[in-house]
Structure 1
């Protein structure tokens, strides 16, 4: 009479053991992925230094490595700090200093010039190049692999989102949504969604990641399309004033702006899926009554 119970108990034990094995394998697989991601970032790029003989003429034809005068660079950097950087705090002081001195990555410089050309009507900027010319130069440099630093490449994808020649109803490779998802793909490759190891790059990595999240939420709401980033996969700490050691006022502005974008992203998901988890509802309530 106890046989059915024994069989049921044995089956339950076996199922529990099987579930543990599956969980252990799954955990091991995720740990392996994390380890592989860390190891991959320690390897040097396979791309040879410099451009190939076929790539160089293309870059030169678009004047990709040409910088404006020092006075124009000064005006561009000041405009960037005033109009662009508060919403996309993607560059640190050293990046800006090198752009100002004309010693930075040409790709990073052209991307900054592009962003500023969308918000500035300075005659010095217009005399040097148009918005489209800045964009073409940055695009050529990006796709020829001129820049080997993945962090700079991600910074560039964020700034190139200032160039948005058509509405979302058009299918183009130049829209902000395209560059956003290119940047998100690179960010996942280098682990920006992970909490960085404390060091000189930790703040800029967090600022880059949360800039992508903010842009993702805005573009999702504006275009009515799914977000590229699932925050359930993110382990990075939320931005704090300590991530803005040289610009506390900009830090306060960005943190508030980011919170609004994040809530907008949740609400957009809710409208699209007609569902909002209780944890997200609580998050929204706490943020609204903070």
Structure 2
């Protein structure tokens, strides 16, 4: 990928003066890029609407917005003719931003938020090209114009209604939480300093649109996860607070309307909706992360909820792959794949689960291969996962002879781990997955019907040199990026 430090090619120097004419996108392409945005990106980044574009011509006149929209749209659905390189538009947009060629801060914020689908910089080094850098930049600009306040001055820039400004702020809020959890960093936004009301479907042009409902549920989920992440980041001992946050996650998934639930109760995803699948991806990734055991003496142990969540993630990606592309996903999808594979590496070493765990791993590896060219994190995750799998296979992998433990696989209670004396919570683990049946996936059918063991299986023959990586990933997930690949 051009412009990335890993291949020795230096980024194009930033121009010292604005050249707005050369940076405009042709009108016909601009219309196509807008259509791509509304089809694929608007649900997770609802910062534009047709009425605003009609009433605020300065947006469509902005070269900075032109190039931000182009890099997003080309990344999502590259045309077969004309410009096909999102990096070219990224470098143009970056030069226009640092050249101060766009004076409207709301246009700046909206445009920067379209960078979400392009991550050219290494996330483990100080850089002005990472997703986290741009999220932080957009948040600082948003706070400068008062988007974090119920009654701020933002209306002086575009429009008078509150809906657009609330959608922009809560999109930034959710993205801040996603990046912080994925990279093991602190969040930028402190809710104690914010007074803007929680976004609702009435902040959208059409409150009855399912996309509006999906966005609202998405934001609420990441608000819960953000509070959990704060406890993880501060204390490294999250489960002292599990009685507060874990039931909130259960309540979130169970309170979703039928139209926003995963259609996984049967073998076929009847009524498949790409956005509903994507809504659940972050939730399932969080469940996987929370129920992986950080041990100082063995490879991480996947508890039952983690294995079930990983298998659901595999089915999500199987549905995506079957429909021809996963490129519409944000770059954090590679992190979801990596965590799911780690849980399934444990599952495949358990007698009775091996074959189906291998099938799920194959699906996830295929999806990761598709995402590698689209982001630097994808390349790093792919290399790390392949290294782990190669070493695991060399050491015996899922070969016969690995002795499972003799613990009881109980379906009456689930038990979080990662603490010396974990509290048993009086809830069934299946409550994390209200749609789950024996038809959800073959691996989950094994979990629901198995009377064997899995919860504390370890393998002393696992390669020692990757143990530090595996042991740290669950609390400091940026370790996957920063120290081992």
TM exceeding 0.5: yes
Find the counterpart in structure 2 of residue 136 from structure 1. Answer: 91
Match of 1:255 among 209, 213, 216: 216
> How far apart in 1 are the matches of 2:197 and 2:205?
16
Match of 2:18 among 20, 42, 56: 56
Shift of the alpha carbon at 1:103? 4.4
Find the counterpart in structure 1 of residue 133 from structure 2. Answer: 178
> How far apart in 2 are the matches of 1:279 and 1:230?
23
Shift of the alpha carbon at 1:200? 2.7
TM-score, length of structure 2 as denominator length: 0.43
> How far apart in 2 are the matches of 1:209 and 1:171?
25
Whether 1:121 aligns to 2:78 is yes
Q: 1:98 to 1:54 in 2, by over 3 A?
A: farther
Asked if structure 1 preserves the Cα contact closer than 8 Å seen for 2:109 and 2:141, the reply is yes
Match of 2:149 among 185, 188, 194: 194
Match of 1:264 among 204, 225, 241: 225
TM-score, length of structure 1 as denominator length: 0.70
Asked if structure 2 preserves the Cα contact closer than 8 Å seen for 1:98 and 1:104, the reply is no
Whether 1:67 aligns to 2:28 is no
Find the counterpart in structure 2 of residue 203 from structure 1. Answer: 163
Find the counterpart in structure 2 of residue 18 from structure 1. Answer: none
Q: 1:112 to 1:184 in 2, by over 3 A?
A: same
Structure with the largest fraction of helix: 1
Find the counterpart in structure 2 of residue 110 from structure 1. Answer: 67
Shift of the alpha carbon at 1:168? 1.5
Q: How does 1:1-290 map to 2 (within 5 A)?
A: 55-56=17-18, 63-64=22-23, 66-70=24-28, 72-97=29-54, 103-124=60-81, 127-196=82-151, 200-246=160-206, 248-274=209-235, 281=245, 287=252, 290=255
> How far apart in 2 are the matches of 1:278 and 1:188?
32
Asked if structure 1 preserves the Cα contact closer than 8 Å seen for 2:142 and 2:169, the reply is yes
Q: Secondary structure at the match of 2:220?
A: helix
Superposition RMSD in Å:
3.0
Shift of the alpha carbon at 1:253? 1.5
Q: Secondary structure at the match of 1:115?
A: helix
Asked if structure 1 preserves the Cα contact closer than 8 Å seen for 2:147 and 2:165, the reply is yes
Deviations 1:165-185 (A, max 9, x none): 144113221111001111111
Find the counterpart in structure 1 of residue 333 from structure 2. Answer: none
Gaps of 5+ in 2: 1-14, 256-485
Deviations 1:226-271 (A, max 9, x none): 0001112111111111110146332111111112222221222221
Q: How many residues align?
A: 231
Q: 1:249 to 1:285 in 2, by over 3 A?
A: closer
